[in-house]
Amino acid sequence: MSRRQFTLPTRSADRPPDDTGCTVLHVDMDAFYASASLLSRPELVGTPVIIGGGGNRGVVLSATYEARRFGVASAMPMSRARRLCPQATVIAPDHHLYSQISAAVMATFDTITPLVEPLSLDEAFLDVAGSVRRLGNPARIGQLIRDTIHDEQGITCSVGVAPTKFVAKLASGLAKPDGLVVVPRDEVVTFVQQLPVGALWGVGDKTEETLLRLGLHTVADIAHTPLDTLRRALGDSAGPHLHDLAWGRDPRGVEPVRRERSIGSDETFEFDVDDPAHIHRQLLKLSDRTAARVRAAGMLGRTVTIRVRFSDFTTITRSRTLRDPTDVSREIYEMARSLYDALGLQRARIRLVGVRMEGLVEGAGAPIQGLLDEPEQGWREADRAVDRASARFGAGSVRPASLISDAERRRPDAGRGDMHH
Which residues are catalytic, by number? Answer: 123
* 403, 285 contact by CB (below 8 A): yes
3-state secondary structure at position 365: coil
Q: What is the CA radius of gyration of the chain?
A: 25
Rounded to whole angstroms, the Cα distance separating 337 from 400 reads: 15
341 appears as a binding residue in the annotation: no
Closest CA to 9 of 214, 192, 256, 239: 192
Helices (H), 227-275: 227-234, 238-246
Query: Residue 72 burial (CB < 10 Å; 0-12/13-18/19+)?
Result: buried
Q: In the structure, how many helices (H) and strands (E) does the chain have?
A: 16, 15
Rounded to whole angstroms, the Cα distance separating 161 from 172 reads: 8
* 292, 330 contact by CB (below 8 A): no
Rounded to whole angstroms, the Cα distance separating 239 from 414 reads: 62
* 23, 132 contact by CB (below 8 A): yes
* 43, 27 contact by CB (below 8 A): no
Q: Write the DSSP symbol of residue 100.
A: H
Classify each residue of 99-126 as buried b or exposed e, where b means 16 or more C-beta atoms within 10 Å of its C-beta. Answer: eebbeebbbbbbbbbbbbbbeebbbbbb
* 311, 350 contact by CB (below 8 A): yes
Kind plus residue range of the DSSP H or E element containing 406: helix 406-410
274 appears as a binding residue in the annotation: no
* 241, 228 contact by CB (below 8 A): no
Which residues participate in the annotated binding site? 28, 122
Known binding positions for Mg(2+) = 28, 122
